[in-house]
Homo-oligomer: A and B are copies of this chain.
């Protein structure tokens, strides 16, 4: 099921990424490099699986929203990797944009993906009221009160240890908000009642935090080749491994994964998908 949705999404992405005509020698290539370059497509698949579980007839109409999420996520990766932030040379197993081209190109392509996410979303073949709600959710969770706040805290406190509450705040904003938005947007497309939308959103926040703890553990324990990006990179950063130690971080991850498996049971048609995510990633 998930492979099928991933194939559908990848085909859509390859065909529907905006292209531009100009005399710039590598504009379209630079624009597409990081988003076509790979990635698990986790956020699009969350949205598409919500739609698929409740109303598979709406899958095609959901692809623009799924692509908008992936564009927003990809812009954030491009900017996070900039020399002024993580200064990373590798992402998704390929060279980062500022390494392939230059810093100005990386800033601008991130900017374009950020703005274009809304352009793509507005061209969804769905009614205007739904598009407005999707746009509200995406912009709220990605903007100054969402993902950007998390990244700003991460950068500002790089050499100042945060406590566990602050660290959870950081990652709830930096990572979990957009993941929660993906689930909620799926719920909006299929017309779930407000309380069901909110439950999906709350589950997404916890799922996002769990993945972030996992990411910190990967950074501390895996090689660059295994992770597809530079690792052992977080030595001065606020990470769950630095704060709690590796053993306690693993314990926290396992306890959260276990708790989420129980919560996942409440999601009816979606339960088996959530269980599969948790089983695959947190055995």
Contacts and interface: CB of A to CB of B under 8 A. Distances in A.
Given A115-B148, A135-B135, A139-B122, A156 B107 contact: no
Contacts of A218: none
A114 interface: yes
Interface stretch (A22-30, A197-205, A227-235): A22-30
A142 interface: yes
Contacts of A82: 104, 107
B23 A166 contact: yes
B24 A152 contact: yes
Given A111-B111, A116-B143, A127-B128, 6 more contacts: A79-B108, A84-B103, A112-B143, A115-B143, A122-B132, A128-B128
Contact of A122 (B72, B127, B135, B153): B135
Contacts of A186: none
A279 to B, nearest CB: 34
A2 B211 CA distance: 52
Given A149-B22, A169-B22, A143 B131 contact: no
